Amino acid sequence: QQPVQSPQAVILREGEDAVINCSSSKALYSVHWYRQKHGEAPVFLMILLKGGEQKGHEKISASFNEKKQQSSLYLTASQLSYSGTYFCGTEKGTGNQFYFGTGTSLTVIP
């Protein structure tokens, strides 16, 4: 039921790029991305509502391949502030239920 994310964890140096993938065994009608810093609540980053849609947020962008039931989050020129756990999420049924992926821990080091 839960989307699967890969990689599970990644360590980057400042300025490096990273890609986080989110795959679902069921059809995805929308994909959400959230970031949770240690000890804090998850914070919304962006939502993709259509297949093929790409969105950007600062140096963080995402794509959505509805046919492949996948979404990817791209982090370019990473900064220390990007460290945290990233979750993809999706809705189920009538949209009353939100489910999250398995999470990706991202650590940016100097």
Partner 1 sequence: EADIYQTPRYLVIGTGKKITLECSQTMGHDKMYWYQQDPGMELHLIHYSYGVNSTEKGDLSSESTVSRIRTEHFPLTLESARPSHTSQYLCASTLSGANVLTFGAGSRLTVL
Chain residues binding partner 1 by CB under 8 A are 1-2, 30, 32, 34, 40-44, 47, 49, 85, 87, 89, 91, 95-100, 102-103, 105
User: Which residues pair with residue 97 across a beta bridge?
Assistant: 92
- In the complex, the smallest distance separating the C-beta of residue 45 from partner 1, rounded to whole angstroms, is 10
Provide Rg for the chain, Cα atoms: 13
For residue 63, count other CB atoms closer than 10 A to its CB.
17
- Going by their DSSP bridges, the two strands 70-75 and 31-36 should be labelled as unpaired
Nearer to partner 1, 49 or 77 (CB): 49
- In the complex, the smallest distance separating the C-beta of residue 19 from partner 1, rounded to whole angstroms, is 19
Nearer to partner 1, 65 or 85 (CB): 85
- In the complex, the smallest distance separating the C-beta of residue 41 from partner 1, rounded to whole angstroms, is 4
41, exposed or middle or buried, with CB in 10 Å at 0-12, 13-18, 19+?
exposed
